[in-house]
Amino acid sequence: MAQSFNPDAILYFPVARFLNKSLAIPHFSVKDISKIDPNKLKEYGFTGLVFDKDNTLTAPYVNEIYPSIQDSFERYRSIFGDRIAIMSNSAGTDDDKNYEDAKKIESDLGIKVITHSRKKPAGVESVVLYFKCTPKELVMFGDRIFTDIVFGNRYGMLTVHTALLTEEGDNKAAAKVRRYELPLIKKWMQQGKNPPPHKMYNDNICLERLI
């Protein structure tokens, strides 16, 4: 299902864009999830992983782990087990009637989809309820800056920005926003803007940076 109106993203965009740019800066920006070491995440005390779905784990609107990251995702699963969940701005939201899309994803992928009434960059209460830990123990993976990354940074998670897996089937509105987001973030990082500090941050969590 396609994403619909997201009031929290609209309301919080000016905060990250003009008042607190660090909220939009990921701790790591990588090609895909294979460039993060799940063993290091576990070693440094992270207890749960939150993934956006489309263009982070799968092609848009496809319920299969993207072929190039299948082996990597199985490594995450072997280390974190059921401490992995999807936080989507479509499946599992109030737009998802009877959570049918969330149920289908859970059946197809074997990954819990967190149900939530407020979309990223809001909705942390549902995440905390599922993982039963503080947000600082969680890692947020996502391809969208002003939803996924701002969401994670806003609540104290470690944030990992992943590049586009594929343009095939991509939402046109999302693609347009992404073309705006990435050059802006690169510019801010070149100007010395940093993500919010995280006590469990370590450089060697990342195997290869994109930015």
Strand positions, DSSP E, 37-97: 48-51, 84-86
pTM, 2 dp? 0.92
CATH number of the domain at 173, please. 3.40.50.1000
Q: 135 is in which domain, residue-wise?
A: 7-205
What is the C-alpha separation between 55 and 138, in angstroms, rounded? 20
Give the length of the chain: 211
Domain total in the chain: 1
Give me the helices (H) in the chain, please.
7-14, 38-43, 70-80, 100-109, 124-131, 150-154, 172-190
Residue 41: pLDDT over 60: yes
Residue range 96-153, pLDDT digits in tens: 999 999 999 999 999 999 999 999 999 999 999 999 999 999 999 999 999 999 999 9
Give domain status of residue 121, yes or no. Answer: yes
